[in-house]
Amino acid sequence: MTRTKGYAAREAKGQLSPWIFDRREPGPRDVQFDILYCGVCHSDLHQIKNEWGNSSFPMVPGHELVGRVTKTGTEVSKFKPGDLAAVGCLVDSCRHCDNCAEGLEQYCQNGNSQTYNSMEQDKKTPTYGGYSKLMVAHEDFVFHISDKLPLETVAPLLCAGITTYSPLRHWQVGNGHKIGILGLGGLGHMAVKFASAFGAEVTVLSSSPSKEADSSRLGAHKFLLTKDPVQLKSAQGYFNFIIDTVSAPHDHNVFLGLLRTNGVHICLGAPPKPTEIFGFNLIGGRKSIAGSLIGGLPETQEMLDYCAAQSIVPDVEVIDIKYIHTAYDRMLKGDVHYRFVIDMASL
């Protein structure tokens, strides 16, 4: 075992503090790397507050990790010391179910191992995330990173990036499509960048007039203020797809009305309470409401390679680990453009 340092929550009070814990020594197929940057996801705050009811403590959050390899197991073939490396939301899966066999490890039918607040595949060893100095993971769940991109900007691609890239690829969004991006935050701003790069006409749907200038800068072609009934009416039946990144309660029926025949409303955000969908809002236009998680291993590496080739990265604000609670407060107020990233040298 290797002793390392992290920031951990000890109980569901939303507070983190320094914690010394053990990482396993690399096994034959494991990669060990020093964590240089870790992205801050809104789910980190949900988890340390146990707002989803499944939290286990002590907890080291963080599932957007980038760093440099320091040690590899004897059978590792994909990495060597000195390589750049990344880990996203998963560190393992069963490897043999139908979904895993298709590269859809995020939907592992036997339960994947998430990067933190989860269990390894032995179902008894807890996982600890990226608010720490060191990571050890099986090489299949470690991704290659191009040195063409500023490393601090890469971390959020491992969650915000792949969460938006995956549904856009699954529904083959591209030239000739009109897509609405509901919510312009960590997920939404990446959805705008990807959808516009894929050739779609992109409209940001937001309740904040102040987001209009950023929408254009990020690559959106249009902006719709969702609090304006006139603008909503003008967009009835307009979109092929809506990417919904909002995790606060909202009326999905309003946005189903903006879809054209065969349109799809794709939910990425997870509001805390169920929403009521009126059947005729689906039946009347053969519309669908769907959901999407992150991507699997092949798609995540594809996304990282695409971003390197196209120079697509999140807009980030790099912070000290000691700033994390202020960052959480700002995140709740929507005061981040558009993703916090922790410089782990500050730990």
Is 300 part of a structural domain of the chain?
A: no
Of 60-74, 154-168, 261-275, 298-312, the least confident: 261-275
b/e code 204-220 from CB counts within 10 Å (16+ = b): bbbeeeebbebbeebbb
Q: Are residues 243 and 280 in the same domain?
A: yes
Report the pLDDT value the prediction gives residue 161, as an integer from 0 to 100: 98
Per-residue pLDDT reduced to its tens digit, 307-344: 999 999 999 999 999 999 999 999 999 899 999 999 99
Is 262 part of a structural domain of the chain?
A: yes
Average pLDDT over residues 231-258: 96
Is 299 part of a structural domain of the chain?
A: no
Per-residue pLDDT reduced to its tens digit, 201-226: 999 999 999 999 999 999 999 999 99
Q: How many domains does the chain have?
A: 2
> Does pLDDT of 91 surpass 90?
yes
* CATH number, residue 219: 3.40.50.720
What is the CB neighbour count within 10 angstroms for residue 24?
13
Under 8 Å CB-to-CB from 100, ≥6 apart: which residues?
93, 94, 108, 109
Please count the residues of the chain.
347
Q: Are residues 21 and 92 in the same domain?
A: yes
Q: Are residues 13 and 139 in the same domain?
A: yes
Is 63 part of a structural domain of the chain?
A: yes
Q: What is the pTM of this model?
A: 0.96
CA distances from 207 to 133, 325, 328 (A): 39, 26, 21
Q: Are residues 272 and 334 in the same domain?
A: no
Report the pLDDT value the prediction gives residue 270, as an integer from 0 to 100: 85
**How is 277-343 classified by DSSP, letter by letter?**
--THHHHTTT-EEEE-----HHHHHHHHHHHHHHT----EEEE-GGGHHHHHHHHHTT--SSEEEEE
CA distances from 168 to 79, 174, 264 (A): 30, 8, 11
* CATH number, residue 74: 3.90.180.10
Element (H, E) at 166: helix 160-170
Domain housing 235: 161-291
Q: What is the DSSP letter of 162?
A: H
